[in-house]
Copies of this chain bind each other. A is one copy, B any other.
Amino acid sequence: MSKNNARALDIKNGCIEMSHGSGGRAMAQLIHELFTATFDNSYLAQGNDGALLPQAGGRLVMSTDGHVISPLFFAGGDIGCLSVHGTINDVAMMGAMPLYLAASFILEEGFPLIDLKRIVESMAQASADAGVPIVTGDTKVVEKGKGDGVFITTTAVGIMRHDITLSGNLAQPGDRILVSGTIGDHGMAVLSQREGLNFDAPIVSDTAALHELVAAMLDSGAKLRVLRDPTRGGLATTLNEIAKQSGVGMLLEETAIKVNPPVAAACEFLGLDPLYIANEGKLIAICAAEDTDKLLKVMQAHPRAKDATIIGSICEDPHCFVQMTTKLGGRRIVDWLAGEQLPRIC
């Protein structure tokens, strides 16, 4: 306990050891040489138990998200950028601008430092691209077999810049439902990687930060009621949540819901329904009917929503059913995801 530990962190060959979580010199070294150096901002450099931040000029928004995705690396991203995007998006869906992120790491003994470095660099890049710094953090280590490489919980604080309230309980009959692009990309990218499936065309996760798209949508002045990102449970489950919260029904048009052809093919091959597959870079918007065209134009003009479509409308329904007119012209109920479809997708 009294010996010095002066050697530098061996990123190339080293692994996480229990001592990296014990609060002593090894932990200080890991934090200093990897996390603080890579995330590199003045808040984190304060070096205290938390970050001291400026006063925020608006109502606060706070959201947290644990990330346990398996595998850690997949086509289009990794747990690092995903953990930044996912939590930024939760704040954005409230109609708020994300300002700061906190990151908590639960590392498994034996996890290669080179992989951790890659994840941390991916987080730092996503954070820089989004303009939302990681201002404070925490590192814990669990014994081999008591974790799974790395779990990352990120928490975001944001502020409301508009005098608007978006909430899952505000959808009204007559409102239109829009989706910002193709569905199912993230979930099928992860599943393909996990199962070692190779399809002719590559499937790439859509993981992306959506706060700038949301800012453009809010700036349009369109009467938005609800924004939600259809992650776990996919489009179908998220729409059912909103229908239940608002006490309304929904009518969807299957032909208006876009699915990338490789995703559609993979879903068909595996017997999965893309309506239930997770997305990490798409949003659902529910908007007053009269403003729908204006909103759609703003969305389609933004690089993150160029494939946006109107997929249906809100109706009165005491049962809060989500129904869909199928490609063949029939109508079916689109229920909640029950049971597990794809575990550890985010």
Q: A24-B237, A147-B146 are in contact. Are A48 and B168 (CB under 8 A)?
A: yes
In the bound complex, do residue B231 and residue A23 qualify as a contact, i.e. CB atoms below 8 Å apart?
yes
Which residues on B sit within 8 Å (CB–CB) of A21?
Answer: 68, 232, 340, 343-344
In the bound complex, do residue A153 and residue B104 qualify as a contact, i.e. CB atoms below 8 Å apart?
yes
Q: Which of A130-138, A189-197, A288-296 sits within the interface?
A: A130-138
Which residues on B sit within 8 Å (CB–CB) of A36?
Answer: none
Q: Which of B47, B57, B59, B276 contacts A53 (CB 8 A)?
A: B59
Q: Which of A88-96, A175-183, A201-209, A216-224 sits within the interface?
A: A88-96
Which residues on B sit within 8 Å (CB–CB) of A58?
Answer: 55
Q: Which of B24, B60, B339 contacts A56 (CB 8 A)?
A: B60
Which residues on B sit within 8 Å (CB–CB) of A148?
Answer: 142, 146-147
Q: Which residues of A contact B (CB under 8 A)?
A: 1-5, 17-19, 21-28, 46-68, 70, 89-91, 93-94, 96, 100, 102-106, 135-143, 145-148, 151, 153, 155-157, 160, 165-169, 228-229, 231-234, 237, 241, 245, 273, 276, 278, 333, 335-344
A89's nearest neighbour on chain B, judged by CB, is: B49
6 other contacts beyond A26-B339, A50-B61, with CB at 8 A cut-off?
Answer: A1-B337, A24-B338, A28-B336, A53-B62, A56-B60, A68-B142
Which residues on B sit within 8 Å (CB–CB) of A2?
Answer: 333, 335, 338
Q: Which of B25, B52, B166, B231 contacts A338 (CB 8 A)?
A: B25
Interchain CA distance A145-B160 in the complex, whole Å = 41
> Can you report 21 residue pairs joining A to B where beta carbons are below 8 Å apart?
A1-B273, A18-B340, A21-B232, A22-B233, A22-B340, A23-B233, A24-B338, A27-B233, A46-B167, A47-B167, A47-B168, A49-B89, A49-B91, A49-B94, A50-B64, A55-B58, A64-B104, A65-B138, A66-B104, A66-B106, A140-B151
Interchain CA distance A5-B237 in the complex, whole Å = 14
In the bound complex, do residue B90 and residue A49 qualify as a contact, i.e. CB atoms below 8 Å apart?
yes
In the bound complex, do residue A59 and residue B51 qualify as a contact, i.e. CB atoms below 8 Å apart?
no
Which residues on B sit within 8 Å (CB–CB) of A335?
Answer: 1-4
Q: Which of B94, B103, B160, B167 contacts A64 (CB 8 A)?
A: B103
In the bound complex, do residue B61 and residue A52 qualify as a contact, i.e. CB atoms below 8 Å apart?
yes
In the bound complex, do residue B153 and residue A340 qualify as a contact, i.e. CB atoms below 8 Å apart?
no
Which residues on B sit within 8 Å (CB–CB) of A66?
Answer: 104-106, 138-140, 153
Q: In whole Å, how far is A284's beta carbon from the nearest beta carbon of chain B?
A: 12
Which residues on B sit within 8 Å (CB–CB) of A27?
Answer: 232-233
Max chain B Cβ within 10 angstroms of own Cβ: one of A17, A168, A336, A344? A336
In the bound complex, do residue A49 and residue B93 qualify as a contact, i.e. CB atoms below 8 Å apart?
yes
Which residues on B sit within 8 Å (CB–CB) of A168?
Answer: 47-48
Sort A-B residue pairs by CB-CB distance and give the 8 closest, nearest first.
Answer: A23-B232, A50-B63, A23-B233, A24-B337, A155-B155, A64-B102, A153-B153, A49-B90
